[in-house]
Amino acid sequence: MTTDLETIGMLRDSLERYAADNYAFNDRLGMLKESTGFNVKVWSDLAEFGFLTLRLPEDMGGLDGDATSVGALMEVVGKYLMQEPFLVSGILSTTLVARLGDAGQRERLLQGLGSGQMLFSCSLEHADDCLVEKNNRLSGRLDLMMHGDAAHGFLVTVRNGSGELKLGLVNASASGVHRSPCRLLDGRGAARVVLDNAEVELLNSPANGLSIEEHIELLLDEANVALCAEACGMIDALVNTTNDYLKVRTQFGRPLATNQALQHRMANLYLLRQEAFALTRAAERAISQPAAERSRIVSGARAYISQAARQVANEAVQMHGGLGITEELNVSHYYRRIMLLNNLLGGRDHHFSRFVESSLGAA
């Protein structure tokens, strides 16, 4: 799996131009009022322009993009606070089906995912809560499925009666599926899902010689690298926004940017931004490394970037003063998105512990 740097640059520039034209902050405020938590027209455009085929295999018209190409687009997603289920459906769900589905499942599902006509939500952390029952029936509870309120299907990790890990696809409209829509902290849609003897279709044809457990661990690391890239996009936007504000906001007849204490604080934010981008690039490269080294680098990057993003968000709010917490200013929206992101897929504490344990184990 690879994508050359020229293609990555073209993809990023294309999404950046689209977002700049169609995802101004005022447009986002309108999107938050949509019942799905995102704009269906934007989702359709992302599919039409080919962004949802990024992780499709080349033999199905996709780019078979690597972690670097995903990261380039996720930076734009973070910078513009895009609400669409690009990561959950376009990247993670598509990758799961491509790697674990059999030929028939791949043919049937990947075209729908790549065209945006199918929207899947996936949960990789509920293996102990659900059991595959007799005749491929599934019961259990999924406390939070991002974009689960609008999803056509749920991809979940489950264990059968023998304790074997499997990946299952549940039709969201099937009998026995009960979902309660909700909104996340940043306004994106989600759902709490209860499965009561619901029919499940198993995807159990692992590729690349890896077990399903190894595939799930790999995808979790890839997802965390994507979240690092998204955080970088938000850090970059907050640093630039705060710097611009300090230049135009005056106090006692002078711009705030002339205040030496604020200059030192901004210098620290610039340093945090550079470190976050460097660690994200290292984590993207680490995806191709052996599992132990991969997990160490990815978790180290995720733990540090989570802390850095929170510090940048806090500083941006404080340096904007009372404006920083208002709904009408984008700073508060970045703040909430970062708070949510820092609790997805383990969060800072989990990844810091994982980094320490793997580092000690390698010593």
Model confidence pLDDT, tens digit, residues 261-310:
999 999 999 999 999 999 999 999 999 999 999 999 999 999 999 999 99
- Type of residue found at 77: V
pLDDT at 307: 97
pLDDT digits (tens, 9 = 90+) for 211-262: 888 999 999 999 999 999 999 999 999 999 999 999 999 888 999 999 999 9
Per-residue HEC secondary structure of 204-227 comes to CCCCCCCCHHHHHHHHHHHHHHHH
CATH of domain 5-115: 1.10.540.10
List, by residue range, all CATH 2.40.110.10 domains of the chain: 120-203
List, by residue range, all CATH 1.10.540.10 domains of the chain: 5-115
pLDDT at 1: 62
How many Å apart are CA 199 and CA 318, to the nearest integer?
A: 51
Q: Residues 190, 182: contact at Cβ < 8 Å?
A: yes
Q: What are residue 199's DSSP bridge partners?
A: 137
pLDDT at 164: 80
pLDDT at 104: 93
List, by residue range, all CATH 1.20.140.10 domains of the chain: 212-362
- The CATH architecture to which 120-203 belongs is Beta Barrel (2.40)
pLDDT at 2: 67
How many degrees, rounded to 5, is the angle at CA 350 between CA 185 and CA 358? 150
Instruction: Report whether pLDDT(127) > 60.
Output: no
Which runs of consecutive H residues, i.e. helices, occur in the chain? Answer: 5-22, 25-31, 40-48, 67-79, 94-100, 103-115, 212-248, 260-286, 291-320, 330-341, 347-362
CATH of domain 212-362: 1.20.140.10
Rounded to two decimals, the pTM is 0.95
Percent of the chain exceeding pLDDT 70 equals 96
Task: Say how many C-beta atoms besides its own lie within 10 A of residue 56's C-beta.
Answer: 24
Task: Say how many C-beta atoms besides its own lie within 10 A of residue 153's C-beta.
Answer: 24
Structure-token match 């990946």, residue found: 167
